[in-house]
Structure 1
Amino acid sequence: MAGSDDNKPNNDTESNNIESNEENEENVREEYVLLDTKLDELNQALDLLEQKNDDIHKRLVELLQSNRDIRQQLKNENTEIN
């Protein structure tokens, strides 16, 4: 166009860039919220697994002690019989 400066952005281009940047920022915020939610869910799942692991460990320690006690009783009974 004669008499116009092609290097100068017009208001429509600036407005579109601002809207595009705002949309991108909103998308980034939504992604962070989604990521935060997923991390919370993962943390809860890991807490549950840790609790189950602790419960299993506790039961195994109890079972081990019970087996030791039984073996000692059997050993004592065998000693008394002989």
Structure 2
Amino acid sequence: MSIPTIVAQRPVIADDKQLTVSTIRIAANYYETVIFDDSSDKRHDGWRIGGYAIDQSSKRAPSRDEAMEQHREALYAARTETPRA
């Protein structure tokens, strides 16, 4: 088994949001995208944004192209949506 590799990682800092959208390659044909709460008080931990539970859920993709599309969608959601409990 190989060590996970970061494929794309982008911070989102706006208003009261401090998030990171990260996509990693776990293995061949296995990628995961997740949204992390980078705020010091973890104020959005477990809240939902763009179909993700912040710090708690991920979306899988079988190819790099699909993973990058998920990453773009998650990044757009993190930039434009307000996290909700």
TM-score by length of 2: 0.24
Q: Which has the larger radius of gyration?
A: 1
TM-score by length of 1: 0.25
